């Protein structure tokens, strides 16, 4: 059963990573970069500061920092080292089948050694999940845009050849669980008197 899931994951990766859409190399490289998303981060930060008064926004911002710390440490520091699943870009059986994108130095971008779970997927799903929980209810268009943001960043990691789809799903789960933990910590402490 596990072998069948791994094969499906590998097949889906090769299907999504295919080199038939090379014009996406540039955009996907930028979508994967953290600094590219600073404007979106700034908008989320501004909305948090508008929503939470009496300096409770400071604790909420610290909550977001805690989510990123939890997702990053859990994905990179614990799960990747424990599972040790090679990234597709480092898998010997896939060499010659993967579409690579060149980095700033003109080399094929291959990422670190291990890929399960995706830190990008974990970090951004954690941030968006916490934002949605704290700002709920939101218009459907805003929810859709934020979910699209997470999916786009996650897909860029497949396109770049450094993550399987299962790596992303695992990252989303880590992100959502981390956001839930921080949300309940905030609600039981600094935000318990603040109506949400």
Q: What is the CATH number of the domain that holds 13?
A: 1.20.144
Q: Is residue 169 one of the residues assigned to a domain?
A: yes
- C-alpha span between 131 and 134 (Å, rounded): 5
- Per DSSP, the three-state class of 18 is coil
How far is CA 162 from each of CA 31, 41, 48, 75, 107, rounded to the nearest angstrom?
14, 24, 33, 15, 14
Q: Is residue 120 one of the residues assigned to a domain?
A: yes
Q: Is residue 194 one of the residues assigned to a domain?
A: no
Q: Is residue 196 one of the residues assigned to a domain?
A: no
The total number of structural domains in the chain stands at 1
List the chain pLDDT tens, one digit each, 196 residues: 788 999 999 999 999 997 667 788 999 999 999 888 889 999 999 999 888 877 788 899 999 999 999 999 999 999 999 999 999 999 999 988 999 998 888 899 999 999 999 999 999 999 999 999 999 998 999 999 999 999 999 999 999 999 999 999 999 999 999 999 999 999 888 777 655 5
Query: 14 lies in which domain range?
Result: 2-188
* CA-closest candidate to residue 138, choices 68, 48, 65: 48
- Could you tell me the maximum CA-CA distance found in the chain, to the nearest angstrom? 58
Q: Is residue 128 one of the residues assigned to a domain?
A: yes
Q: Is residue 193 one of the residues assigned to a domain?
A: no
Can you give the pTM of this predicted structure? 0.91
pLDDT of residue 164: 98
Return the ∠ at Cα 113 (arms to 119 and 40), rounded to 5°. Answer: 25
Q: Is residue 56 one of the residues assigned to a domain?
A: yes
Q: Is residue 195 one of the residues assigned to a domain?
A: no
pLDDT of residue 1: 74
């Amino acid at each position: 059963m596990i072998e069948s899931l791994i094969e499906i994951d590998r097949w889906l990766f090769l299907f999504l990573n295919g080199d038939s859409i090379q014009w996406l190399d540039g955009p996907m490289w930028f979508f994967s970069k953290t600094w590219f998303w600073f404007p979106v981060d700034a908008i989320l930060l501004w909305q948090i500061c508008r929503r939470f008064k009496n300096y409770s926004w400071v604790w909420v911002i610290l909550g977001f920092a805690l989510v990123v710390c939890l997702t990053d440490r859990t994905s990179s520091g614990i799960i990747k080292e424990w599972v040790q699943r090679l990234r597709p870009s480092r898998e010997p059986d896939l060499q010659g089948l993967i579409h690579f994108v060149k980095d700033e130095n003109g080399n094929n971008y291959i990422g670190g050694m291990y890929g399960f779970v995706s830190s990008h997927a974990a970090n951004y799903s954690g941030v968006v999940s916490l934002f949605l929980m704290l700002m709920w209810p939101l218009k459907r268009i805003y929810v859709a845009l934020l979910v699209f943001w997470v999916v786009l960043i996650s897909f860029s990691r497949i396109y770049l050849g450094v993550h399987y789809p299962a790596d992303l799903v695992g990252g989303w789960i880590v992100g959502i669980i981390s956001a839930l933990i921080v949300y309940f910590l905030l609600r039981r402490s600094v935000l318990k008197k603040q109506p949400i």
